[in-house]
Structure 1
Amino acid sequence: MSVTAQLIGVDVGKAQLWLSVNGEPAQRCANEHSAIHEWLQSLPAPAAFALEATNDYHLALALEAHRQGHRVYLISGYRLNRYRDSIGGRAKTDAGDAQLLVRYLEREHDQLTPWTPPPKGYQSLQKLLRRRARLVRARVMLEQSLGGVTELQASLKPLIRAIQRLDTTLQRLMDKAIATAGWAAHRRRCQQIEGIGPITAAALTMAFHRGAFRSSDAFVAFLGLDVRVRDSGQKRARRRLTKQGDPELRRLLYMAALQAKSKPAWSGYYQRCLARGLACVQALNALARKLARLAFALMKNQTEYQPHIPCEQT
Structure 2
Amino acid sequence: MSEQTGERVLQSVGVDVAKHEVVVGERDDRGRVRTRTLANGRSALEAYMAALAQSGFTGPVVVESTGFWHWPTVFAAQAAGVDAHLINPLMPAKHRKGDVRLCKTDPADAALLAHMGVTEPNLPKPCRLSRTQVRLRQLLNLQKQLERLIQSQQAVLRAHREAAELAGVAPAAALTELQAQLTGLRQQRHSVQAEIQRCAETMAEPQRVTAVAGLPGVSTALARVLTGLLDPAAPSANSWVAFVGLDVSVHRSGQKVGRSRLTKRGHSFMRKRLFQAAWGAMIHSPVVRRYYERLRQLGRSYVEALLIIARKLVRGAYALVQNPEQPVDEQRLFAVKT
SS in 2 for 1:149: helix
Relative to structure 2, which stretch is displaced further, 94-103 or 194-203?
Answer: 194-203
Q: 1:270 aligns with which of 292, 297, 300?
A: 292
Tell me whether 1:78 sits opposite 2:90 in the alignment: yes
How far is 1:51 from its partner? 1.0
* Alignment CA distance shift 1:41-1:184 (3 Å): closer
TM-aligned CA distance change 1:37 to 1:213, over 3 Å: closer
- Counterpart mapping for 1:280-299 below 5 A: 280-299=302-321
Q: Do 2:197 and 2:221's aligned partners in 1 also have CA atoms closer than 8 Å? A: no
Report deviation, 1:275: 4.3
Secondary structure at 1:116's aligned position in 2? coil
Cα displacement (A) at 1:135: 1.6
| Aligned-partner SS, 1:206 | helix
1:180-259 alignment, distance < 5 Å: 180-197=202-219, 200-208=222-230, 210-259=231-280
C-alpha displacement at 1:193, in angstroms? 3.2
CA positional deviation for 1:197: 4.1
Q: Deviations over 1:42-71 (max 9, x none)?
A: 543324211111222211111111221222
Query: Does residue 16 in structure 1 map to residue 21 in structure 2?
Result: yes
Which piece of structure 1 moves more, 297-306 or 150-159? 150-159
Contact 2:136 2:229 in 1 (8 A): no
In structure 1, C-alpha distance between the alignment counterparts of 2:321 and 2:232, rounded to whole Å:
13
Cα distance change of structure 1 residues 182 and 236 upon mapping to structure 2, 3 Å threshold? closer
TM-score (normalizing by structure 1) = 0.82
Q: Is the 8 A contact 2:246 2:311 kept in 1?
A: yes
CA drift at 1:85: 2.6
Measured on the aligned residues, the alpha-carbon RMSD in Å equals: 3.1
Q: Which moved more, 1:58-67 or 1:186-195?
A: 186-195
Amino acid at match of 1:33: R
What's the CA shift for 1:143? 0.8
* 2:167 paired residue number: none
Identity across matched positions, percent:
27
SS in 1 for 2:33: coil
Could you tell me whether the CA contact under 8 Å between 1:178 and 1:184 is conserved in 2? no
Structure 1's 53 and 106: CA in aligned 2 closer, same or farther, altered over 3 A?
same
CA distance in 1, matches of 2:33, 2:193: 47
Q: Please state if 1:125 is matched with 2:119.
A: no
**Does the Cα contact within 8 Å between 1:224 and 1:244 map onto a contact in 2?**
yes
Alpha-carbon spacing, 1:149–1:129, altered in 2? closer, same or farther (3 Å): same
The aligned counterpart of 1:178 is 200
Distance 1:262 1:116, change over 3 A: same
The residue type equivalent to 2:208 in the other structure is H
Mapped to 2, the partners of 1:130 and 1:232 lie a distance apart of 37
C-alpha separation in 1, matches of 2:277 and 2:205? 20
Distance 1:89 1:82 in 2: 14
Question: Which of the numbers 61, 66, 70 marks the counterpart of 1:58?
Answer: 70
Question: Aligned AA for 2:266?
Answer: G
What letter corresponds to residue 67 of structure 1 in structure 2?
A
Q: Mean alpha-carbon deviation: is it higher for 128-137 or for 216-225?
A: 216-225
TM-score with structure 2 setting the length: 0.77
Structure 1: gaps (5+ residues): none
Would the aligned equivalents of 2:87 and 2:124 in 1 still touch at CA under 8 Å?
A: no
Distance 1:134 1:279, change over 3 A: same
Return the alpha-carbon distance in structure 1 between the equivalents of residues 287 and 106 of structure 2.
Answer: 50
Larger Rg: 2
Out of 14, 26, 43, the residue aligned to residue 34 of structure 1 is 43
**What is the letter of the counterpart of residue 14 of structure 1?**
K
Evaluate the alpha carbon distance shift between residue 72 and residue 244 of structure 1 in structure 2; reply closer, same or farther with a 3 A threshold. farther
| Cα contact 1:190–1:298 (8 A) shared by 2 | yes
In the alignment, the residues of structure 2 paired with residue 95 and residue 280 of structure 1 have an alpha-carbon distance, to the nearest angstrom, of 49
Q: State the 1:73 CA deviation.
A: 1.5
Bigger shift: residues 210-219 or 29-38? 210-219
CA gap 1:257/1:145 in 2 versus in 1, 3 angstroms: farther
Change (3 A) 1:174 1:17: same
* Structure 2: 5+ residue stretches without partners: 162-170
Q: Number of residue pairs matched?
A: 307
The code of the aligned residue for 1:215 comes to S
Helix, strand or coil at the partner of 1:287: helix
